[in-house]
């Protein structure tokens, strides 16, 4: 038998050891009174079990005690997630840390991380959602940018109209911006019925920032009014590669006929970039759109000519494309 494999008995023993280790650490934590004892216990525990009431209460007490040493509070918040999952009273106390005035920034960050870790499915957090949203709103202007950014992002995910409006105002007037431009556009793009399309379209047209352009393209990918702008970006060889690729993806998703027009131009242009050519071929092939190019002999000749390209990836992708087309013809 391989030395690295575990027999069922060995595996069972490992589990028993883990459980015993946890019980020992949890017992230590419950009994701990001094800083050293608490530190030793907290740093050996990886988590507090959801059903371990004694350890959970002690961990919660450490986390929420303003007189406790900061690093112990942070550590307590890092391991309390499981215990919070089904415990609305505990969740409420952690939410209280977010909106507490004069609370240490590290503690607030750890508290927010603990809540965000359980946000998807925790019934306890769901029952406290009104308080959680209020807690998040209380920190969107926090002096700690990381804390504020996480809160803004989460509220935007909840389509919070207040935060979305502030982000929108920030795009129009950078002096009051709540988040960096690219991030603001990314968050506003979550809600396409928010009425932000005109502003985002304007930023796409005017901004020279690559990240802003990419996020704007993603945000506008479902907007018919932006299709021409996106098509122009895709065909513009002076645009940065990743911006063009974002445009390719967006146009292919929402205006496939326009994308095909542009793809043909790109593939037929010897001076255009290899990455964009390859991505265009891939996009047509992956969607099985051979029926749309089958009658275009000129286009197929252009793809054939790419099979002798200097670049190995271009040669490979063009060959794969033609093979796919052959297969389509056989089955048609």
Partner 1 sequence: MYTGKSEGEVIRIKGDLMAGFHHNLPIKALPYILEELQSARHPYLIASAAYALRGLKTPLPQTVPYLLKAAGNLAHGDDTFFFDQDEHTTALKELFKTIKWHGAYAKAYIANVTALSDKLYLDREGKKLLKEAINAINGDARQTGNCCDEDLFCGGNIKPFGGIKKIKSLVLEDQEGGQIKYGEFFNGKPAVLVFFYSRCDNPDKCSLTITRLAHLQKQLEGKAKIAAITYDAEYDVAHRLKNYGLNRQIKFNNDVRFFRVNADFEQLRAYLDLGVNYIGPYVNKHTIELYVLNSKGEAVASFSRLQWENQEVINKVNSLLNSKKTTTAQSFYSILLSAGMAFFPKCPLCVMAYLSAFGISGMNALWVGNWLFPAMMVLFGINILVLAMRCRTNRFFLPLYLSCTGVVILIGDHLLLHEKAVTMAGLICILAGALTNAWGRRLQQMFGFGLVSA
Contact residues for partner 1, defined by CB under 8 A: 88-89, 92, 123-124, 126-131, 133-134, 158-159, 161, 164-165, 191-198, 222-225, 254, 256
223 versus 317: smaller Cβ distance to partner 1? 223
Nearest residue to 97 via CA among 149, 62, 126:
62
CB of 88 to partner 1, least distance (A): 4
CB of 283 to partner 1, least distance (A): 15
CB of 126 to partner 1, least distance (A): 6
Q: SS3 for 320?
A: helix
CB of 194 to partner 1, least distance (A): 5
169 versus 209: smaller Cβ distance to partner 1? 169
42 versus 135: smaller Cβ distance to partner 1? 135
192 versus 241: smaller Cβ distance to partner 1? 192
134 versus 301: smaller Cβ distance to partner 1? 134
CA atoms within 13 A on the CB side of 291: 4
Decide if 79 contacts 45 (C-beta within 8 A). yes
Task: Give the H or E element holding residue 123.
Answer: helix 123-127
CB of 203 to partner 1, least distance (A): 16
What is the rounded CA–CA span in Å between residue 309 and residue 318? 9
């Amino acid at each position: 038998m391989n030395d690295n494999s575990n027999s069922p008995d060995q595996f069972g023993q490992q589990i028993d050891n883990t459980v015993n280790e946890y019980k020992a650490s949890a017992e230590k934590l419950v009994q701990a009174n001094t800083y050293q004892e608490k530190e030793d216990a907290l740093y050996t525990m990886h988590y507090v079990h959801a059903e371990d009431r004694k350890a959970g209460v002690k961990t919660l007490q450490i986390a929420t005690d303003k007189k406790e040493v900061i690093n112990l509070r942070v550590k307590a918040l890092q391991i309390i997630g499981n215990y919070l999952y089904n415990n609305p009273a505990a969740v409420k106390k952690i939410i209280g840390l977010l909106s507490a005035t004069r609370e240490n920034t590290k503690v607030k960050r750890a508290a927010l991380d603990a809540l965000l870790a359980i946000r998807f499915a925790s019934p306890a957090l769901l029952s406290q959602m009104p308080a959680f949203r209020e807690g998040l709103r209380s920190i969107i202007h926090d002096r700690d940018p990381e804390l504020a950014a996480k809160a803004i992002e989460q509220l935007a995910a909840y389509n919070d109209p207040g935060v979305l409006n502030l982000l929108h105002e920030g795009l129009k007037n950078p002096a009051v911006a709540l988040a960096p431009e690219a991030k603001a556009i990314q968050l506003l793009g979550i809600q396409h019925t928010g009425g932000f399309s005109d502003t985002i379209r304007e930023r796409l047209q005017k901004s020279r920032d690559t990240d802003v352009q990419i996020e704007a393209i993603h945000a506008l990918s479902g907007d018919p009014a932006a299709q021409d702008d996106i098509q122009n970006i895709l065909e513009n060889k002076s645009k940065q590669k990743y911006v063009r690729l974002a445009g390719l993806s967006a146009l292919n998703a929402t205006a496939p006929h326009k994308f095909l027009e542009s793809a043909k131009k790109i593939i037929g242009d010897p001076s255009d970039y290899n990455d964009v050519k390859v991505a265009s071929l891939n996009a047509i092939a992956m969607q099985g759109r051979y029926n749309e190019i089958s009658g275009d002999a000129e286009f197929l000749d252009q793809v054939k000519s790419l099979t002798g390209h200097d670049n190995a990836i271009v040669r490979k992708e063009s060959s794969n494309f033609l093979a796919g087309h052959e297969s389509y013809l056989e089955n048609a």
